[in-house]
Structure 1
């Protein structure tokens, strides 16, 4: 990483394509946590006492250019390092995808998505509260409405950075939600249960009882899943979604996901959706790559 002032580059692996990931990030016009303007990603991030707007672009497919626009004052090196770490984590740059691409070559379900989306990374949600909240918001509703709920939550309770007439939002912290009541969340216009679940999770995190570090210490996907499913409002689907997108457990596998079923049905041109037993049989070949297999299959639909 070569840092010059508030601009530097991050080298991505050869099995990375910036444009493919940009297409994925562009899939919803109602995304509220980053903006894409002229092939550049703008996102507000907070580290320690710093709130920064970060611009990410690419000089070529495997070299990311990072800039902190609108900031002339010095920024401490640990903060700049944290920005780089966030980007590497968000784009999952430290995972070697070669073994996944090798197994996908002859896999009847993965051949097509890997061919279509080569270079795509499992775009993460590095913040644990954001990942769990997104999982809760998305329960039993379509993706379009989930984005609407997220925007309501962010714009009602998050902080923002203004730059060149645009607002760039930060996801609410657990502390900002922990002290709220269900009535406070009525602006969300979602079920009382979901409001309760969000507040419960925020309180657990604000008290330090639920942390990313504790989940990672489980060092086993099933053990981490059990830790999450003990929390009210988090079932196996939400738990595996969080383990997949935030904790980066490679074997995280939301096997009951409707989108996964629809994608498999599409690839194999099936008359009906596959059974769980069928999916378990096919997925035996994906050992320790279940997370990426799911993500690539989802990409066929979303």
Structure 2
């Protein structure tokens, strides 16, 4: 399975912070925002990852992340000239995806929880169709909303409905079989001029090949698309790391624990960052 991170867009809800920099490069406590979706793909065991961004920002991501070899993975990059919707990622990534299944995660979503790896492995195991997630929220009007029956059969998906049929929002994390590329090509742009991910999911729903996994208590999903969302995410990360002593989205730790890099490589990274708390944490893993 391949992985795609969509880190494009203009981030207008975060102006003036994002007038000169991509929002996924902004810090969430002690790491760039893009580290958090990257950690999800690494936890899912995905080693080939495509990062899609704007013409102005792609080179910055390349400077930040390189080719992935330091983590034992492979990063590729693609440019999205103008924002054309989430599903545009599959057309931009067609040559990257080839004949594989694919996971798409939005670059401003943060997931954390004890069962996260198990849930990701369950979604990754799909043979046919698509898997989305449902996360309970107080006010579902601002989200895509999934409706399902008692057996978790998906009944409908609506984008920001006035009268939501459930209180389960659809986070920005999706798993698809290889059919998603051709499906995305068949989608006509919406009134916003974008190729909507909800339209793609509705095609899978019509084919009765759309699955939903519920993210329940103990699982955190944070959308960082607003200043308030970024602040809350930073406070959450700081609280977990300070109280529990475990780092969220430490890419080097995940790569090491998964055997993608060895202890000598991890020590070299830690020594290079020894003047920071982040580097000291990496070295403490070895000790």
Q: Determine if the TM-score, normalized by the shorter chain, exceeds 0.5.
A: no
TM-score by length of 2: 0.28
More helix by share: 1
More strand by share: 2
TM-score by length of 1: 0.27
Give the structure, 1 or 2, with the largest relative contact order (CA under 8 Å, sep 6 or more): 2
